[in-house]
Structure 1
Amino acid sequence: MPRPNSARRMLNTPRRRKVDETRRSDLLASVEAIFLDEGFTHVTMGELTERLHCSKATLYSVAPTKEQLVIAATKKFFAKSAEIIEDTVADLDSPSAKVSAYLDGVATAMRRNSRDFYEDMVSFSLDSRNLRAKYGAGGPAGRRAHR
């Protein structure tokens, strides 16, 4: 006879740990700050749990792997930066002023990053098969172009 779903059974797998959205968001913001300041290739999940005062199960509830945590933190940084830039550009009328504001915004956002983060980001390699599976042959830019 199959066992009914129980809370005990769900807690047997740390990666299924439930963490409230506020805590998850706070952890991701802290991870983002650490990665932007120090890079991410040398920072281990164990170090993150010590510095963030959380368990590995809690950290893995934010992202199931370190690679996914790097991606989530990086996406959060770029999404936040893009939102600020878009808000600035939206208030402008002149196309040249919009382009200038956009480029200034990108430069300002990227200045926030440490050299270590930039070097890690440039050398970070995602499996191209995963990208093709997610976005198609053209990658992320190709998918956006076909929308």
Structure 2
Amino acid sequence: MLEHDLRILLVEDHPFQLIATQYLLESFGFGQLTTTNNAENALQLMIQARRPFDILLCDQCLPDLRGLELIGLAAQRGLIKQAIILSSLTTVELDTLKVAASKLRLPLLGYLAKPLKQPELKNLLTTYQKATLQTDQ
């Protein structure tokens, strides 16, 4: 079962993908969902937040900044706990991003290829929840 009080920031520039992902997260029962369509707005939302977002779901190919760069900026400032990259890139390209994130010690939980698949998103969120429960004990 997923923890429904996770604070999630969804950054997606494609209107259909934004609505579809928002709907999917809401169908899981997440009520603390903030959405925006670019990195600049995302940074402002994170800075204005009273506490870090639990998860940043971020498109890799945003018009104003690459997703991995946004994750790096947010992580440096302590604005997020974990991140998930969303992308239409190939699996090889996504694996390269994951390796780069690891080398930079970014809090990348994983990546999801578009179009999103419900079980894969649910699996990553469950992984986050389990890791959080273990560190809280």
**Structure with greater helix percent:** 1
Specify which structure has the higher proportion of strand.
2
Task: Select the structure with the greater relative contact order (CA < 8 A; seq sep ≥ 6).
Answer: 1
The answer, yes or no, to whether TM exceeds 0.5 is: no
- TM-score with structure 1 length normalisation? 0.23
Larger radius of gyration: 1
